[in-house]
Structure 1
């Protein structure tokens, strides 16, 4: 399998992209830069949940919303695995998230560790982000003396345009038996998972741009594509996708310089996402020098 690198952008409007349990579930922030942060584990959770909903067998999951021992997960999955002698091929053929992301499987007396070929850096917002804080009241009393319900705090971002970077290692893919069809399922999950798995705090998040640059070999890595893009804010402190555009002119130049190393570019662009290369253009015009494959 060849290497790929991923650029994934989505926005959040009056939502909490990734609450920090150490900060009363406030959105994760780099307060010095006023940048919203989202962990790679949050993105992987979206992907796992989407794949599980599609009928795929997932190892890193919960049973009835409770954390359990790995042995019980394997029993629940109803896969033909001998817990006393876990064979590598059996594990990998059964579990797509282990093929993608790897896992440590602390089965008593037979621990297995796999390093996944698909990895993401932490996501961060391309714009400065303001937080909203509000009081919320439960309709259910906490005890007989409290008839008015429990009080709490609700934290949201006003608007955050979030960028993720990822890599798929062709060499590591060979060790986890990753398949080309797994990569196609990963593409679909990244594009579709966030809006489909919305909860109360996650409503208002939508994928805006996805690029997966597939190289001609399992050695090429060109680097974090976020370094080559810039959010063009039409007004100060944007609050909606209609108030921003994405300048990808430097990214195009970067990829054109390395065109001989690139096999395909897989892409998804939301119809509301405006792209700039000197002026506003369609992605097929910007990347016309490449073999483009649209994802839907």
Structure 2
């Protein structure tokens, strides 16, 4: 499998993209730069939940109601009830897509392994933490109440805080390692599911604090080999105005340097797997454009539209 690098943008309007449990669940922020932050774990959770809903077997899955699942029990279930050993690793990888994608540490005994031994598979797909391209303003907290009492002897309900951002244009970078893909048994079909999950998962996993979030742009640059890495594609995006953004309509995102990088590296790129929300435009020169049109003009034949509509259970 070839290396790929990923670029993913989504936005959040009057939502809490990733609450910090150590800070009253406020949106994660770099207050010095006024950037909104989202962890890679939060993004992987969206992907895993989407894949599980689509019928795929996962290692880190949402348990059924009332079910308590340990790592060892999960692997035993996959193996039909038997204790996992190192010889079972290929079968485990073939059955559990999230390990093929993201890797895992599993309680699997080796040939002479004793109690507590484990095996680690480093996932070929890794994401950075996401950050906002714009300077983000937080909504003043509102107190929310519950009709339920916090203790049996109390009659009044409980109160909490509701923290949100006005608008955040969030962007992630990621990589797919071709060499690690061989070890984890990652397939091209798995990558197609990853592409689809990134463009569909977030609106389908909406909760009260996450409503108002939509994917806007996804690009997976697939290289011609398993050695090429060109770097963080986010650094090639330029936002004209970073202050006081309140909706997608306020965004003027320039892709001139990104298109130039693709043109310069044309010989090292096998394909650009691309999806763009129909309501999201980017700017190239003085024009508002579809990114696929500009790339096709600069480097014809590279753009491959991201496939959607994959059926549940297909591998």
Flag whether TM exceeds 0.5 (same fold): yes
Task: Quote the residue 1:126 is aligned against.
Answer: 133
Conserved in 2, the CA contact under 8 Å of 1:36 and 1:160? Answer: yes
TM-score, structure 1 normalization: 0.94
Conserved in 2, the CA contact under 8 Å of 1:63 and 1:73? Answer: no
Q: Please report the RMSD computed on the Cα atoms of aligned residues, expressed in angstroms.
A: 1.7
Task: Quote the residue 1:244 is aligned against.
Answer: 251
How far apart, in 1, do the equivalents of 2:63 and 2:15 lie?
27
Task: Determine helix, strand or coil for the equivalent of 2:12.
Answer: strand
Task: Quote the residue 1:31 is aligned against.
Answer: 31
Task: Quote the residue 1:281 is aligned against.
Answer: 289
Deviation at 1:84, TM superposition (A): 4.2
Task: Quote the residue 1:16 is aligned against.
Answer: 16
* Unmatched 5+ stretches in structure 2: 109-114, 309-315
Match of 2:176 among 145, 168, 171: 168
Alignment of 1:1-296 (within 5 A): 1-64=1-64, 68-76=69-77, 78-80=78-80, 82-86=82-86, 87-107=88-108, 109-132=116-139, 133-233=141-241, 236-278=243-285, 279-288=287-296, 289-290=299-300, 291-295=302-306, 296=308
Task: Determine helix, strand or coil for the equivalent of 1:148.
Answer: coil
Conserved in 2, the CA contact under 8 Å of 1:13 and 1:204? Answer: yes
Deviation at 1:75, TM superposition (A): 4.2
Deviation at 1:245, TM superposition (A): 2.4
Deviation at 1:45, TM superposition (A): 0.7
Task: Quote the residue 2:111 is aligned against.
Answer: none
Deviation at 1:284, TM superposition (A): 2.7
Deviation at 1:268, TM superposition (A): 0.6
Deviation at 1:73, TM superposition (A): 1.9
Deviation at 1:131, TM superposition (A): 1.0
Deviation at 1:148, TM superposition (A): 2.7
Distance 1:220 1:141, change over 3 A: same
Q: Deviations over 1:130-173 (max 9, x none)?
A: 11211000011223553230011111111000000000000110
Q: Deviations over 1:196-218 (max 9, x none)?
A: 00111110000000000111000
Report the more deviating stretch, 38-47 or 277-286.
277-286
How far apart, in 1, do the equivalents of 2:267 and 2:51 lie?
34
Task: Quote the residue 2:312 is aligned against.
Answer: none
How far apart, in 1, do the equivalents of 2:156 and 2:210 lie?
27
Deviation at 1:89, TM superposition (A): 0.5
Aligned length: 294
TM-score, structure 2 normalization: 0.89
Report the more deviating stretch, 239-248 or 119-128.
239-248
Task: Determine helix, strand or coil for the equivalent of 2:230.
Answer: coil
Conserved in 2, the CA contact under 8 Å of 1:2 and 1:216? Answer: yes
Deviation at 1:14, TM superposition (A): 0.7
* Unmatched 5+ stretches in structure 1: none
Report the more deviating stretch, 179-188 or 135-144.
135-144
Deviation at 1:67, TM superposition (A): 6.4
